[in-house]
Amino acid sequence: MSIKAGDIVYGIITKIVGYGAFVVVDDYNGLIHISEFSDGYVRSISDFVKIGEKVKLRVVEVEEENKRLKLSYKSLNKTRGVKGDIPHYQLGFKTLRDHLPQFIQDQLKGESNE
């Protein structure tokens, strides 16, 4: 089987290390670098995949002579964040103007105690 960049493949996770996960795809060995799991912060690769799991991946690069692949998890497995209610705060210069006298008093009290 010939694999090229851009192909979608299925692979089995064989090892998880701090910088990524190793995968077997047919007769190729592949690596999913930690940066290819998510656009956000990745605390642990184990949050995304487990050893022995079959995953759908996109081929980023093929090194044919060594049968190695660079793979991407995030391009096919988008994780969606949970949308929460955004609290409404009354911010702006009016709020600052209303609270400025108290801020000044608090600061002056702090300086007199030093």
Taking only the tens place, the pLDDT of each residue in 68-83 is 999 999 988 776 444 5
pLDDT at 22: 97
Output the CATH code of domain 8-72.
2.40.50.140
pLDDT at 94: 67
- When the pLDDT of each residue in the chain is averaged and rounded to a whole number, the result is 85
Among residues 18, 28, 41, 17, the alpha carbon closest in space to that of 71 is found at 28
pLDDT at 82: 46
Domain boundaries, the chain: 8-72
Q: What is the DSSP string of 45-88?
A: GGGT--TT-EEEEEEEEEEGGGTEEEEESTTT-PPPPPP-PPPP
Half-sphere exposure of 100 (CA within 13 A, CB side): 7
> 1-27: per-residue pLDDT in tens?
689 999 999 999 999 999 999 999 999
Q: How many CB atoms lie within 10 A of CB 36?
A: 20
Q: Which is it for strands 28-33 and 68-72: parallel, antiparallel or unpaired?
A: parallel
Predicted confidence (pLDDT) at residue 53 exceeds the cutoff of 90: yes
pLDDT at 95: 73
Planar angle of CA 80, 43, 17, nearest 5 degrees: 115
Residue 28 phi/psi, 5° resolution? -110, 150
pTM above 0.75, yes or no: no
